[in-house]
Amino acid sequence: MSSDQIFSKILVPIDGSEPSFHAAQVAINIANKFNSEIIVLYVVVSPSKSEYANLTGLVTPKHIDMIIQNAKSEAKNWFKRIKDKVEEENPNIKVSSKVILTGFAVYGEIIQYAQQESINLIVIGTRGRSGFKKLLLGSTASGVVTYSNCPVLVTK
């Protein structure tokens, strides 16, 4: 494997926090060096069923679409901020974005996505919006580091 293929696909999970934007900047720096593709991922935790259930208590595909559309709307400016930075630094770097809805642990979705997309490196911030400032490493970052099959770079 040549050095320019080592980190050909870099995954950057974001949540709108400054640590996640710092992780994106680190990923951009690496992508510049290795001519990598960057995939920015926002994993949304599904709200409780009762918030989106219909009268029968079921969450319909329409409601799921609504949750995803709300998340995409929320993340639109985050994705633009990162894409603009990539464009400013190196317009040749391919950058894409994705929103995923989960009812489970965010780190599990990140790891599953990384495996499905043959990601070579995950760059993730230490603490996001969860507010657990007492923790040295955020629970999402900790789960990704613990269970990922590819290298993980944790930024502070």
Domain range for 138 is 3-155
The mean of the pLDDT values for the chain is 85
| 131 φ/ψ sector (left φ>0, alpha ψ -120 to 50, else beta) | left
Q: Per-residue pLDDT for 63 more than 50?
A: yes
Q: 64 versus 96: which is more confidently predicted?
A: 96
pLDDT, greater one: 119 or 133:
119
How far is it, in rounded angstroms, from Cα 75 to Cα 84? 14
The alpha-helical segments, DSSP class H, found in 4-136 are 18-34, 49-52, 61-89, 106-116
- What is the total count of domains within the chain? 1
The CATH number of the domain holding residue 132 is 3.40.50.620
Mind listing the pLDDT tens digit for each residue in 28-58? 999 999 999 999 999 988 765 545 555 555 6
State residue 135's pLDDT score.
Answer: 47
pTM over 0.75? The answer is yes
Sign of the alpha-carbon dihedral angle for 111, 117, 123, 129: negative
Residue written as tokens 């079921």? 58
Nearest-10 Cα torsion for 61, 67, 72, 78: -150
